[in-house]
Structure 1
Amino acid sequence: MTVESVRAFFADNAPDIAVIESEKSSATVTLAAEAFGVTPAEIAKTLSLRVGDRVLLLVTCGTARLDNKKARAVFGGKPRMLNAEEALDATGHPVGGICPFGLKTPLPVYCDVSLQAFSEVVPAAGSINSAVRISPARMAELTNAEWVDVSEVREPSEVV
């Protein structure tokens, strides 16, 4: 899996979108923003969650934080973050490179409305130093994502 499966996904579904790679790690929101020259909010972070016996992906703006009350109402249960091994097993991507593209197995994808504040966002692309530049609407379309409101946006100074 990893970056090669993401490249294959875009070759098949959106050949106009190229995977970009950085010499620097982009494994966290702050590092990704520095590596790709955007604000932390423009990083589209993908959370791998378990709700009951379902595994799903939630893509949010980089400065957003999951609102457990909203998420419980939307997803029908309390979301729990997958650990690194579970996330790799479910997505085929390592933590820091998890994205909704080129997945090991199909998973439900949700995009948080916090992404709609931007014309372009930068999600990871299967490795800790790769990403793509894409509009939130196109990302949702390519991944068959459902739009949800399950986060609260934090100030950049609160992002670690």
Structure 2
Amino acid sequence: MSLENVVTHFAKWEKEKDIMGFATSSATVLEAAETLQVEPARIAKTLSFRKGEEGVLIVTAGDAKIDNKKFKTIFEEKPRMLSAEEVYAKTGHMVGGVCPFGLTTEMNVYLDESLKRFVTVFPACGSSNSAIELTCEELYEYGNGKAWVDVCKGWQDI
């Protein structure tokens, strides 16, 4: 059902045919990168966090990690990830296919600055064996982005 929701979502822009399905898993950053033959950093992973009683989605580059201090500064609370059951209840997607598209409930979606260094990135499409190639602008638009944020570490050149 989840992939179908994403297909319906992308049909609004006539982009549903751009969704790629794979015979192999793309559930993790490394699996997706191997399947797509791209560097892991270009995989746009969607992380699900609590924000009060609500959840928020943060889409980051595959090599980025949440920085607790930056997260707390922006969202005014410590980062606490949703359980797999809560993720499914709020997004309609199982862990491994979570994305900001075709959500079953409204959620605020934030995109991390770590993505902006790429011309295109590859977010999942609601299943553990799907993805789509999008520019950052398209990801923001199609994913109903609320804002760009800087909540990650580990990806900048030192």
How do 1:54-69 and structure 2 match up within 5 A?
54-69=54-69
CA distance in 1, matches of 2:103, 2:47: 14
Q: Which residue of 2 aligns with 1:70?
A: 70
The TM-score with structure 1 as length reference comes to 0.92
RMSD (Å) for aligned C-alpha atoms: 1.3
CA distance in 2, matches of 1:36, 1:85: 28
Could you state the TM-score of these two structures normalised by the residue count of structure 2? 0.93
Deviation at 1:154, TM superposition (A): 4.3
Give how far 1:137 is off.
1.4
Secondary structure in 1 matching 2:31: helix
Cα distance between partner residues in 2 of 1:142 and 1:125: 12
Matches within 5 A, 1:106-125: 106-125=106-125
Q: Which residue of 2 aligns with 1:79?
A: 79
Distance 1:79 1:104 in 2: 23
1:50 and 2:50 correspond: yes
1:15 aligns with 14
Structure 1 Cα separation of the partners of residues 35 and 100 of structure 2: 20
- Identity fraction in percent: 48
Matched, 1:150 2:114: no
User: How far apart are 1:54 and its partner, in Å?
Assistant: 2.3
Which residue is equivalent to 2:141? 141
Greater CA drift, 15-24 or 94-103: 15-24
Cα distance, 1:41 vs structure 2: 0.1
